Amino acid sequence: MEKKHGRKVMKIIGMVFAGIVFAVLFAFVFGLAVQYLWNYFMSDIFGLKTITYWQAFALVILAKILFGSFGAHRGRHGHNGRGRWNNWTHPGCSEGREWDFPGENSRHYRDFWKDEGKKAFEEYVKKIKTAETNLED
């Protein structure tokens, strides 16, 4: 029993160590990529100075601080990192756009759309088509 437990612990330690090594390697390669791209493009296009690896790495950290996460994480409003626009389920309809209704009413918008939105939309389209038909006559 102790052998299985020991192997399990060693496997976990190995995975943690491998994860740390991978993260460091990824950060190193990413820093080099930023340094190369900056020195290749920015110095030629804008006449800026070339930068060192550590300056490139600092730029990545600064971009992370200023612009937020590079990955797909759930934000404070429950979005999956791809932005608000992916909540749209029908072309031209804004299901899930609670930010259009600030305050107390925002929490009821999604329920309204589920309960009454489709029906209201179909009635609106019918009204528009009727008006278009009347204009043609």
Residue corresponding to tokens 């996460």:
69
- Which percentage of the chain shows pLDDT scores above 90? 16
Tell me the per-residue pLDDT of 85-137, one tens digit each, with 9 for 90 and over.
444 444 444 454 555 556 666 667 767 777 777 788 788 889 988 888 887 76
For the segment 73-79, the average pLDDT, to the nearest whole number, is: 51
The answer to whether 98 and 104 are in contact (CB under 8 A) is: no
The answer to whether 125 and 92 are in contact (CB under 8 A) is: no
What average pLDDT does the chain have?
76
Q: Please, which pLDDT band fits residue 73 given cuts at 50, 70 and 90?
A: low
Tokens of 3: 């052998």
The span from the CA of 110 to the CA of 98, in Å, is 7
Tell me the per-residue pLDDT of 30-44, one tens digit each, with 9 for 90 and over.
889 999 998 988 888
Q: Return the pLDDT at 15.
A: 94
Tokens of 114: 């589920």
- φ, ψ (nearest 5 deg) of residue 13: -60, -45
What Å distances lie between residue 62 and 17, 56, 108, 109, CA to CA?
Answer: 27, 10, 38, 37
The span from the CA of 70 to the CA of 81, in Å, is 9
The span from the CA of 59 to the CA of 91, in Å, is 39
Residue corresponding to tokens 């939105």:
117
> What pTM did the predictor assign?
0.41
Q: Return the pLDDT at 6.
A: 80
DSSP H helices, the chain, are 2-37, 43-46, 53-67, 109-112, 118-136
